[in-house]
């Protein structure tokens, strides 16, 4: 079997350890896996493309060429649009942080609020606004970007990221922010393994089934009363926290999954 893992050049440098793990596990499974970046194109005889970028247009172009893409472009599009993620949650009846498109300061009726770029990731384009002055500053900074606004939800800067391959949960990590309302591990937060309840697992699987996803991360705010509410879906999802808290290779599980989906097992 022959496949490619696709990254932007910039992200391929930042994620080289995971790429090496993917290629190593692929080789062990009899898969010839190669990296392509930016405008590089796969050979026509490739069996699949593991797509690790936030660009559904590029993913869709591979699909139009007839390649099996993990994840589908539709998954990539929904996961990288926070408003579409909220709309999906509403459709499924999954509790989620209320989210609406932010067109102007007049769309905000009360404070504090959290303003985000609709397609941002990693917590870098997320801002807690306690006043109209702060909100105007964020809006002016991102005038050419689509923005969303959410009411501030108290979670003690704690959330849970759940990693899902196909319809199977492979691990969950609780993340706590460090001197910030944001809990992202790459921003300096702490992490620990998290045990989900059966009803929480059911909510996660319901989302994965609806998306028909292959490999995603689903982020939930962990409220002070112990409830989880959906915040975001990540595709591609970074696995650093999972490798830190669990004793298996995500890359191996991904290769096993791809072999099954491609009818090689």
The 3-state secondary structure of 131-163 reads CHHHHHHHHHHCCCCCEEEEECCCCCCEEEEEE
Distance CA 222, CA 220 (A): 6
Rg of the Cα atoms in the chain: 19
Closest to 162 in 3D by CA, of 123, 218, 226: 218
In sequence order, what are the residues at sequence separation of 6 or more whose Cβ sits closer than 8 angstroms to the Cβ of residue 135?
105, 108, 111, 113, 115, 129
Q: What is the pTM of this model?
A: 0.91
- How far apart, in whole angstroms, are the C-alpha atoms of residue 48 and residue 59? 12
| 15-20 LR contacts (CB < 8 Å, sep 24+) | 15/52, 15/238, 18/238, 18/239, 18/250, 18/251
DSSP character at residue 263: T
Cis status of the peptide bond prior to 71, with omega within 30 of 0 = yes
pLDDT digits (tens, 9 = 90+) for 78-125: 999 999 999 999 999 999 999 999 999 999 999 999 999 998 877 778
Tens digit of each residue's pLDDT, the chain (265 residues): 999 999 999 999 999 999 999 999 999 999 999 999 999 999 999 999 999 999 999 999 999 999 999 999 999 999 999 999 999 999 999 999 999 999 999 999 999 999 999 988 777 789 999 999 999 999 999 988 999 999 999 888 899 999 999 999 999 999 997 655 554 545 557 899 999 999 999 999 999 999 999 999 999 999 988 899 999 999 999 999 999 999 999 999 999 999 999 987 6
Q: Catalogue the E-assigned strands of 201-247.
A: 215-222, 228-234
Contact (CB, 8 A) for 196 and 144:
no
| Domains of the chain, start order | 2-71 (3.40.50), 78-95+155-254 (3.30.470.20), 100-151 (3.30.1490.20)
Structure tokens at 186: 């790459």
1 with 262: CB under 8 angstroms? yes
Give the span between the Cα atoms of 125 and 83, in whole angstroms. 15
Strand 126-129 and strand 168-176: pairing? unpaired
């Amino acid at each position: 079997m022959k496949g490619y893992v696709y990254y932007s050049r910039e992200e391929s440098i930042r994620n080289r350890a995971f790429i090496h793990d993917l290629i190593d596990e692929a080789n062990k499974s009899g898969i010839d896996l190669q990296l392509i970046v930016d405008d590089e194109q796969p050979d026509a005889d490739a069996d699949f493309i593991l797509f690790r970028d936030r660009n559904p247009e590029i993913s869709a172009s591979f699909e139009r060429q007839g390649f099996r893409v993990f994840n589908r472009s539709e998954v990539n599009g929904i996961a990288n649009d926070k408003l579409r993620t909220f709309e999906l949650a509403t459709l499924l009846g999954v509790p989620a942080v209320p989210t609406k498109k932010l067109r102007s300061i007049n769309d905000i009726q009360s404070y504090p609020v959290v303003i985000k770029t609709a397609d941002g990731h990693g917590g870098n384009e997320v801002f807690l606004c306690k006043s109209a002055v702060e909100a105007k500053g964020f809006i002016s900074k991102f005038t050419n970007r689509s923005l969303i606004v959410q009411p501030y939800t108290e979670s003690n800067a704690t959330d849970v990221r759940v990693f899902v391959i196909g319809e199977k949960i492979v691990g969950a990590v609780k993340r706590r922010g460090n001197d910030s309302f944001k809990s992202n591990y790459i921003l300096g937060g702490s992490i620990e393994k998290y045990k989900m309840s059966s009803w929480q697992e059911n909510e996660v699987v319901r989302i994965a089934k609806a998306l028909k996803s292959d490999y995603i991360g689903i982020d939930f705010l962990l409220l002070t009363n112990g409830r989880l509410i959906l915040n975001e879906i990540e595709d591609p999802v970074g696995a650093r926290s999972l490798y830190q808290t669990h004793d298996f290779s995500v890359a191996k599980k991904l290769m096993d999954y791809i072999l099954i989906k491609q009818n090689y097992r």
